[in-house]
């Protein structure tokens, strides 16, 4: 069960997440969080840049997270208004992100609804399974798992501790979901990959006999498809975050702590390294190799080749970002360049004709 919690918190409670420094009233509290566009009374906000500092200071917020670079500015404000509270941390947005967990808790309401259809022996004292879920044979569901309504889980699956599966998710047979994963609504894990071989007249389906493994602390958005391997496994490694509407084909491997944004498509057999970032609508060809720490800009296309670690890529086919930017500048100048070439050509023709005279 997902609960939204309204409760007052002391600013020093943020020290449980990170080493912080508090300026001003260290007994101050906050009961909400806000962004700078809509700052609520008695809320916590953050500021990363000096250009937003004055807006934050003049707001109704009870506490403001700021970087150490704004410490002297904050001290000047406190001299005028001692009840103000500033929380100093090197990465304000990160500390603010930690704080959001105060207001949204995932608390299992242990039990298995009467409408659940299951062929597996499950312990209803330490899992939450909501109405109209279907569960196949030999399924293992570990403690503190929350399964929302209308989820389908095939035979021989493993769902590990603390994972949350939202409504309408389909997990085919023989798949494994790690600890503390979040799978959002209507995602499908373990469907057959797109594999067919022509016999000259029609297409013979390749049976996909592998499985999907999702490692710990992975979050998968809504309406994603992660296909099972032809043989072996499709694997999403720990800590990776996948946005909505992403297609991941058979036998793909995605490394640890990668970011896959919306509408990305990754073709079969591609190998993606760790801490890779794909912006929206990136396309990856089959068997492409993307090494660690690569960043790929929106709508780029990766062909079947190897991309070296620490690259920043743009365009289709994807090339080094600086080269791409220079190419775009040149491309925008093409009409003027062509016009100039025509002018030169006409001038040359005039000179040629005069020489004949």
Catalytic residue numbers, as ranges = 250
Give the number of residues written for the chain. 357
- 57 neighbors 83 (Cβ within 8 angstroms): no
């Amino acid at each position: 069960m997902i609960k939204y919690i309204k409760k007052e918190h002391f600013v020093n409670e943020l020290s449980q997440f990170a080493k912080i420094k508090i300026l001003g009233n260290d007994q101050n509290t906050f009961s909400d969080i806000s962004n700078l566009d809509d700052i609520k009374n008695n809320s916590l906000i953050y500021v990363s840049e000096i250009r937003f500092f004055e807006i934050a200071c003049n707001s109704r917020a009870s506490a403001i997270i700021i970087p150490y670079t704004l410490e002297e500015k904050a001290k000047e404000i406190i001299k005028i208004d001692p009840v103000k509270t500033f929380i100093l941390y090197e990465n304000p947005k990160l500390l603010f992100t930690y704080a959001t967990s105060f207001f949204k808790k995932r608390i299992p309401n242990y039990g298995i609804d009467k409408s659940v259809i299951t062929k597996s022996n499950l312990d209803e004292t330490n899992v939450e399974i909501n109405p109209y879920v279907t569960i196949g044979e030999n399924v293992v569901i570990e403690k503190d798992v929350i399964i929302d309504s209308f989820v389908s889980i095939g035979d021989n699956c493993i769902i590990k501790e603390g994972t949350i599966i939202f409504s309408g998710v389909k997990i085919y047979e023989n798949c494994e979901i790690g600890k503390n994963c979040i799978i959002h609504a209507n995602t499908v894990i373990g469907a057959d990959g797109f594999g067919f071989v022509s016999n000259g007249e029609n297409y013979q389906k390749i049976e996909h006999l592998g499985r999907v493994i999702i490692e710990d602390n992975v979050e998968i958005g809504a309406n994603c498809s992660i296909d099972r391997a032809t043989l072996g496994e499709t694997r999403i490694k720990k800590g990776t975050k996948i946005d909505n509407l992403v297609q991941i084909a058979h036998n793909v491997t995605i490394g640890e702590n990668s970011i896959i944004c919306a509408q990305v498509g990754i073709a079969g057999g591609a190998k993606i390294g760790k801490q890779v970032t794909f912006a929206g609508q990136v396309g990856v060809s089959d068997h492409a190799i993307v090494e660690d720490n690569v960043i790929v800009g929106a709508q780029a296309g990766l062909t079947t080749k190897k991309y070296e670690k620490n690259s920043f890529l743009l365009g289709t086919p994807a090339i080094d970002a600086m080269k791409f930017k220079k190419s775009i500048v040149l491309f925008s100048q093409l009409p003027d360049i062509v016009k100039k070439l025509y002018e030169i050509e006409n001038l040359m023709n005039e000179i040629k004709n005069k020489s004949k005279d």
